[in-house]
């Protein structure tokens, strides 16, 4: 069996008057994530994990953050395109494991809907998409609600 591991990490600044998109969902929050796209930190970390496992560079290489065509883009579209690139190289996804670091709001109630959104794009079972949420215990930029961070790992299988 030819399997490959990948991991990705992403950070976005938090600020007022921005929406908070995480895992393909818009989350109700007083602070949102700042970015050129919709700034979905979890989908970006998953994109990098998939690209890394297939050795296809990184998300910034494929979708430049200065290119006007990606301004405000729904990151579900980016994840779909990444999935297609990985698929064209002959890989399918076995599973994803991820962690989102956010002081508040609590993400646990939203995790099943995020799992559904991601599983649908990657054509895997919801059970193959793990999303964990943790705070940063009020410490540093994440704990002080100045930033949000996500880590993702994945396994790909050569078809
Ligand atoms: Zn990002």
For the segment 138-157, the average pLDDT, to the nearest whole number, is: 97
CA of 86 to the centre of ligand 1 (A): 19
Name the residue range of residue 65's domain: 3-158
CB 129 within 8 A of CB 64: no
49 touches 153 (CB < 8 A):
yes
How many angstroms does the Cα of residue 47 sit away from the middle of ligand 1?
9
Ligand 1 geometric centre to CA of 35 (Å): 7
pLDDT of 117 reads: 98
Per-residue model confidence (pLDDT) at position 4:
98
Share of the chain above pLDDT 70, in %: 100
Domain count, the chain: 1
Query: Do the beta carbons of residue 39 and residue 12 sit within 8 Å?
Result: yes
Sequence-ordered list of residues with C-beta below 8 angstroms from that of 103, at least 6 positions apart, any chain: 135, 136, 138, 142, 143, 144, 145
pLDDT at 65 exceeding the cut of 90 = no
Q: Is the pLDDT of residue 155 over 80?
A: yes
CATH code for the domain of 96: 3.30.1330.50
Q: How far is the CA of 10 from the centre of ligand 1 (A)?
A: 5
State which residues have CB under 5 angstroms from ligand 1, the bound ion.
10, 44
Q: In which band, very low, low, confident or very high, does the pLDDT at 125 lie, cut at 50, 70 and 90?
A: very high
Mean pLDDT value across residues 75-95: 98
pLDDT (tens digit per residue) in 5-57: 999 999 999 999 999 999 999 999 999 999 999 999 999 999 999 999 999 99
Mean pLDDT computed over every residue of the chain? 97
Q: Identify the pLDDT of residue 143.
A: 96
């Amino acid at each position: 069996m030819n399997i490959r591991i990948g991991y990705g990490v992403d950070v976005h600044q938090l600020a007022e008057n921005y929406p908070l998109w995480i895992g393909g969902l818009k989350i109700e929050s007083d602070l949102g994530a700042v970015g050129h796209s919709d700034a979905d930190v979890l989908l970006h970390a998953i994109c990098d994990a998939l690209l890394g496992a297939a050795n296809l560079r990184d998300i910034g290489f494929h979708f430049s953050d200065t290119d006007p065509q990606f301004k405000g883009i729904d990151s579900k579209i980016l994840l779909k395109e990444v999935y297609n690139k990985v698929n064209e190289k002959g890989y399918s996804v076995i599973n994803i494991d991820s962690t989102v670091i956010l002081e508040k709001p609590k993400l646990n109630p939203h995790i099943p809907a995020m799992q559904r959104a991601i599983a649908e794009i990657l054509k895997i079972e919801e059970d193959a998409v793990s999303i964990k949420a943790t705070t940063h215990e009020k410490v540093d930029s994440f704990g002080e609600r100045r930033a949000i961070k996500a880590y993702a790992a994945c396994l790909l299988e050569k078809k």
